Chains A and B, each alone.
Chain A
Amino acid sequence: MLNRLSVKQVKNGLKEKRFSSLEVTKACLDAIRKTDEKLHSFVTVSEEEALRDAKNADEKISKGEDAPLQGIPLAIKDNFLTKGIRTTASSKILDEFMPTYDATVVLKLKDAGMVILGKTNMDAWAHGSSTETSDYGATRNPWDISKLPGGSSGGSAAAVAAHQTIAAIGSETAGSIRQPASWCGVVGLKPTYGRVSRYGIVAMGSSLDSAGPITKTVEDSALILSVLAGKDPKDATTSPLKLKLKIESDIKGLRIGVSPQYFINGIDPEVESGVKNAVKTFKELGAEIKELELFDPNYAIDVYTIIQRSEVSSNLARYDGIRFGKDRSYFGEEAKRRIMLGTYALSSGYYDQYYNKAQKVRAIIIEDFRKAFEKVDVIIAPTSPSLPLPVGSTKDSSMFGELADVLVEPSSIAGLSGINIPVGFSSSGLPIGAQIIGPQFQENAILGFAKSFEENTQNAAWRKNEPSFTEVSKGKPNL
């Protein structure tokens, strides 16, 4: 049962010598063996490396050497390069790709003492919000395996929810950490763009890509962020601003913005009431709730579609099958669609109409948030307009991801910080998530609100819910 612990609980246990890192690691590997046939959270399980890392950590602990994540088993999304561990980004093009260096994020986690359990499943190239477009098969939602886990970091979110790991790392371009965290009922933090280095992450939308933790608790999220954050000479977009982590869970007198535009048409009524109840909890805790008019998030779909496809077409141009990977005939359908739309949008004669127009509306969205944060400290909204959707929902819907991510796209486009927290369950036993959006580099604020909610709902009945690992309810695939 050691696999069920949080990062902090494992840290304390190791410190007090109640168990070893090897024992925790073996408990996680056991859980993976028992449940991954059903869930398929992992593309690669690195058992050998995990056992080696754990033994090393135990030795260091016995010598009294401390590090922030000493001996903590983690799962890493398969788009982070890991030296000597196959990295596929869930695409057959990279089926045999063996990185010769580590992503900065991975290097930092190694320096902090992590034990690497393996690489988690994702939508191929992170193109999607379902983990169903993985070339290695879909990941299933542990709460109901007839449902999708969300994505693109669906493997990481499912692995954390199913206690196959202590915590995981994901990446988000627009929603790919927060949305699967919402659908799997875990905490997912998307740091400010530029807070965490992108070096060594398989590039998707370079002006949007952010890496962050997916965890069981808010405190774990903050701890891992403190390891990941910082300027990296290898990524010129990383900010010189230092992260001074100080999480205040006293939110009395702080202002929360709630925007009617984020409770969009067609939103699941249980999601709506779940999030509104969370807002009520914040009010009871002393926060001031302000209604806020925000720029219609539906336009963010258009902006994101154009910018992301354009950047994808440029980033995936490097896959020529010469230096590494297979040739371009191995791209899946979704990647082909995105590359072609981006190529079209950037092609001569269309640039102004699409890319330039999208960047202008992006400027409007950035300004809209800037003004909003003059009036409020954070914004709270549903993370996803729907509950987890049935497996098969993405078939024949080339805009599935964009529609599922409508509420997370605006803040990603503006490069803001955001966090998903679980706020309850639907009558069918599926998780409901709320997102707390903060200004750039205000991770302290959103983590404070998240912690405050977590502390004050610790004894709520729904906190005792357990993933079923079975098919609970069948539904029609639609959005």
Chain B
Amino acid sequence: MKINVKNVARLANLPVSIDEEKKFEKQLEETLTYIENLNEVDTTEVKPADNVTGLTNITREDIVEPSLSQEEALRNTKSTHRGFFKVKGILDAK
């Protein structure tokens, strides 16, 4: 099983050095090989389990409650502008 680490790292938005790329390629391929034995299990008649709780359509009352203040919401960011989160531009990003 071949894995293109550079491409996957790009999809995951992870910075990966060239050294890491080689190492991860080997390790991830080992893992993929390991899990291949799942193909031994016949699942032709099986529906996937997407939930173990058996609960469906759980809703709650839509009641306005006190929430974080602007100051609290911004407490853990380093980069603010006039009381807002400051983010990088995305429209001109490559």
A contacts, CB < 8 Å to B = 96-98, 100-101, 193-194, 207, 233, 236-237, 239, 298-299, 301-303, 305-306, 313, 317, 322-325, 328-329, 331, 333, 336-337, 339-341, 343-344, 347, 354, 356-364, 366, 398-399, 414-415, 440
Contact = CB atoms under 8 A, between A and B. Distances in A.
A424 to B, nearest CB: 32
Interface of B: 3, 5, 8-9, 11-16, 20, 24, 27-28, 30-32, 34-35, 37-41, 43, 46-53, 55, 58, 60-61, 68, 72-73, 75-77, 79, 85, 87
Q: For A328, A347, A398, which residue has the most chain B Cβ atoms within 10 angstroms?
A: A398
Contacts of B76: 96-98, 100, 323-325
B5 A340 contact: yes
Given A194-B53, A357-B43, A359-B50, A347 B11 contact: yes
Contacts of A415: 52-53
B5 to A, nearest CB: 7
Q: Which 8 A-B pairs have the closest CB atoms?
A: A415-B52, A324-B76, A359-B48, A363-B49, A360-B43, A236-B58, A302-B35, A302-B38
Given A359-B49, A366-B49, A398-B30, A336 B38 contact: no
A59 to B, nearest CB: 27
21 contacts: A194-B52, A233-B60, A236-B60, A239-B53, A322-B79, A322-B85, A322-B87, A323-B77, A323-B85, A336-B16, A337-B24, A337-B27, A344-B28, A347-B8, A359-B50, A360-B47, A361-B38, A362-B48, A362-B49, A366-B52, A398-B30
A339 B51 CA distance: 22
Contact of A340 (B9, B34, B61): B9
Contacts of B34: 301-302, 305, 399
Nearest to B35: A302
A363 B46 contact: yes
Contact of B24 (A340, A347, A361, A366): A340
Given A336-B20, A357-B38, A239 B43 contact: no
Contacts of A359: 48-50
Given A239-B55, A313-B12, 14 more contacts: A236-B55, A239-B53, A302-B34, A302-B38, A323-B73, A323-B85, A336-B16, A337-B28, A344-B3, A360-B49, A362-B48, A363-B48, A414-B52, A415-B52
- Chain B interface secondary structure, helix, strand, loop or mixed? loop
A415 B40 CA distance: 24
A347 B32 CA distance: 14
Q: For B24, B50, B76, which residue has the most chain A Cβ atoms within 10 angstroms?
A: B76
Contacts of A333: 20
A324 B60 CA distance: 28
Contact of A302 (B8, B37, B43, B49): B37
B31 A398 contact: yes
Given A306-B35, A398-B31, A328 B14 contact: yes
Contacts of B11: 343, 347
A124 B63 CA distance: 36
A108 to B, nearest CB: 18
Contact of A364 (B24, B28, B43, B68): B43
